[in-house]
Copies of this chain bind each other. A is one copy, B any other.
């Protein structure tokens, strides 16, 4: 028996970069959190501590800042691709790079004044390999939505531990985490990530609002399928939907009815529905979801 090194990666997490661009009096703002994970010829550093193959995580952080200056921060997927390719192409010991970016949204309050807006965070994860292939996953998290009717849950399995009554009208609420995989672009061509994001977000919201739901799984599938139906640049959608339970309060001890009017918003435990919706001809995902 021998001890071997298995999958490994290292990098700098959560580099917080804010990029201001001036257009005369009018400023533009990009506010991001960047994480880099590199892997490659790292056997020695684990075995002996030799850092001869190691690009310091501090240098990775510096690169994020320098690239923000040199190239600006356009769509986060593009910025992540720039960084990932740079690390792999410039360092022979780095065979693979994963770059994740979160973006926080701001709304304009003046020519150079801004207020944070929205509750959701836009995300992306990009992989680049030294064979030249890249994968791009875009996403969002913390998009909190609620339907106050149009949701049912009944006809489920009854086992000896089942006490839940069937529901024909309930609140359905969740905090959407969604990630979607782009069909690989031909050559250096890339989709319009900004427009794609806006459209996917719209699809998710519309499918959530528009689906009469018999189970959160059905809503999940409808959300993913809507994205695939409308956006040909997307081939796979993964969703994580916590069921943020809103329990009807029993007001009968106080002589009051409660016709779906007063709810207790519970924290824990919560249902958690996770699922994938994809095109049957989606190309191999490679490391895209890692």
Task: For A11, list chain B residues within 8 Å (CB).
Answer: 271-272
Tell me, in angstroms, the Cα distance from A161 to B48 when the chains sit together. 25
Residues of B within 8 A of A153 (CB): 51, 56
Q: Is B267 in contact with A154, judged by CB distance below 8 angstroms? A: no
Given contacts A57-B243, A62-B162, contact A68 B274 (CB under 8 A): no
Which stretch (A74-82, A114-122, A124-132, A192-200) binds chain B?
A114-122
Evaluate contact between B164 and A59: CB separation under 8 angstroms: yes
Copies in the complex: 4
Q: List the B residue with the shortest CB-CB distance to A10.
A: B273
| Cβ distance A10 to chain B, nearest Cβ, rounded Å | 5
Assess whether A95 is interfacial by the CB under 8 Å rule.
no
Q: Are B274 and A9 in contact (CB under 8 A)?
A: yes
Q: Say yes or no: is A168 at the interface (Cβ < 8 Å to chain B).
A: no
With both beta carbons as reference points, the residue of chain B lying nearest to A147 in the complex is identified as B113
The prevalent SS among residues of A at the interface is mixed
Q: Is the CB of B65 within 8 A of A155?
A: no
In the complex, the answer to whether A59 meets B218 with C-beta atoms within 8 Å is no
Once A5-B276, A218-B45, A276-B6 are accepted as A-B contacts, the answer to whether A20 and B263 lie under 8 Å apart by CB is yes
A159 contacts B90, CB within 8 Å?
Answer: yes
Chain B hits for A275, CB < 8 A: 5-10, 46
Q: Is the CB of A69 within 8 A of B115?
A: no
Query: A16 contacts which of B56, B93, B254, B269 (Cβ < 8 Å)?
Result: B269
Interface residues as binary, A35-71 with B (CB distance below 8 Å gives 1, 0 otherwise): 1010000100111111111111111011101101110
Besides A5-B221, A109-B205, A267-B268, 13 more A-B contacts (Cβ < 8 Å) are A3-B280, A5-B276, A6-B276, A6-B278, A10-B216, A13-B272, A27-B149, A29-B148, A51-B155, A51-B215, A52-B156, A66-B161, A91-B157
